[in-house]
Amino acid sequence: MSANGSSPTTLENAAKNRVALGLPLLLSTLLGSYIIQSTIGMFTFQGLPAILRAEGVSTVGISALYVMMLPWVLKVLWAPPVERYRKKGIGFVNHSKLALTGNFLLAFSLLLMTFFPPQSAWEMMLACLLLMALIATVVDITSDGFAIDQLSHKNHSLGNVVQVGGSYIGAMIGGGAFIYLVDIFGWRIALCGVAACIVCMALPLMLLRYPSASGTEIEPAKETNTDSMASPSMPSIGRAFRNPLVRNTLLIVCITQIGTRLVLSMMMPFMVDQNIQLSDIGLLAAGGGAPASILGVLLGGVLVRKVGAWRSLPLLMFFEFFCFLGFVLLAADVHGLSSIKIPLLALFIASSMITAAKFVALYTLMMNNAKGDQSGVDFSVLQSADVLIAIITAVIAGFIIAEFGYLAHFSIALAFIILALLVVIFHKHKSLEESNCSAVVQ
């Protein structure tokens, strides 16, 4: 055992077992994994809220669903052991075991939920959602660490196009398509359809079980002095928080996501309350919002590759400000806008595109600054912060809308996006991307 707590033998084996994965196979496996994770997330936080609101459930009751995000906050606790297991063994065998098992369990859980409709088995449905969230966090830790390890720095934006793009394809399945299927065919058929999609998306991961088919071996890294302060050590949460780069990124994630998460958390209930039919919401989400989001992902990817994530973020937040201002005007019923559906639909599509592009910029920044020998843990810390913001804002939003209405809700979101934009602009002298090469966890 070295002075920093890591075994030289383990490190040598990890180096020998590294393989270079072809970009097409890498991107296809990542795309499938991120589609699955988003399908589960959007099913929970977009599909179900719309269905529950149509059943007359209050926004306070709907906000309780966001407690299901708690495992995504706590996943930093089990990220280190998952990361250690993922990096053991030959090639990507352990990665494949974790991801495949987790994804098949997610599909099975959805089939189990066919017996627990929300109208008559609320508690059992919540138990299934909690189980699914726990499983999904393990798959997510595995996928994020795998992506950061395999993607070169110049391909991080490409990886995030796949990640965020996959998330919006998942939104089409777990959000729009699920809502539509429930309204047309019922709860059970809709869940079976989503489960079948998950199984299909998981199939590319089977190719990773055979190292010889995954790529070519990389020469082991040269031996370094194990007493050096820069030498790798066992992945841990403490190391993440001791890294000033991770701490600075944490600040950016929290401040930029409050307004966005406030709006996203109650978007579906807002549309229901604007007297839009459930099936129409499903078609809009799948046929309008999701394609616009995918376009936003592509535009965000191009923008990030041209000017960098750090410069892209405030620009996209500037456009996000105008989207939020539009929602404020709709909620205030300025000039009778609430009685006209076209402005709401157009604003929903525009907001979907801008939000998607912003996620590409933010998550590229997160990926850049999580690069290192415990990439899965560092990224999990940052992502967990984003999820914690989502939980808090959703719960608060439910109470704000119930007590004060949508005008107060969207006005608060608008105020936070202004504050975040100012913070990001004045934080440029601590450019997180530029310091990435020099920051080392001590």
What pLDDT, on the 0 to 100 scale, is given for residue 214? 42
CA distance 156 to 291: 22
Query: Residue 319 has what pLDDT?
Result: 94
Q: Which portions of the chain are predicted below pLDDT 70?
A: 1-21, 89-91, 157, 209-233, 235, 334-340, 428-442
The CATH topology of domain 20-212+235-428 is Growth Hormone; Chain: A; (1.20.1250)
At residue 21, φ and ψ (nearest 5 deg) are -90, 135
Locus of tokens 């072809």: 22
Q: What is the pTM of this model?
A: 0.67
Check: CB of residue 43 under 8 Å from CB of residue 178: yes
Nearest of 378, 362, 239 to residue 311 by alpha carbon = 362
Residue-wise pLDDT tens digits, 259-302:
999 998 888 888 888 888 777 887 787 778 778 888 898 898 89
In angstroms, rounded to a whole number, what is the distance separating the alpha carbons of residues 299 and 292? 10
Kindly report, residue by residue over 301-360, the tens digit of the pLDDT. 899 888 888 889 999 999 999 999 999 998 887 656 655 678 888 899 999 899 989 998
Sort 90 into a burial class: Cβ within 10 Å, 0-12 / 13-18 / 19+. Answer: middle
CA atoms within 13 A on the CB side of 19: 22
| CA–CA distance, 417 with 406 (Å, rounded to integer) | 17
Domain ranges for the chain, please list them.
20-212+235-428
Cα 360 from Cα 402, distance rounded (Å) = 32
Q: What is the pLDDT of residue 23?
A: 75
Q: Which two tokens stand for residue 17?
A: 């077992």
List all residues 6 or more positions away from 132 whose beta carbon is below 8 Å from its beta carbon: 40, 44, 106, 109, 110
pLDDT at 337: 61
In the chain, the largest separation of any two C-alpha atoms, in whole Å, equals 71
Query: What pLDDT is attached to residue 198?
Result: 93
| pLDDT at 196 (0 to 100) | 94
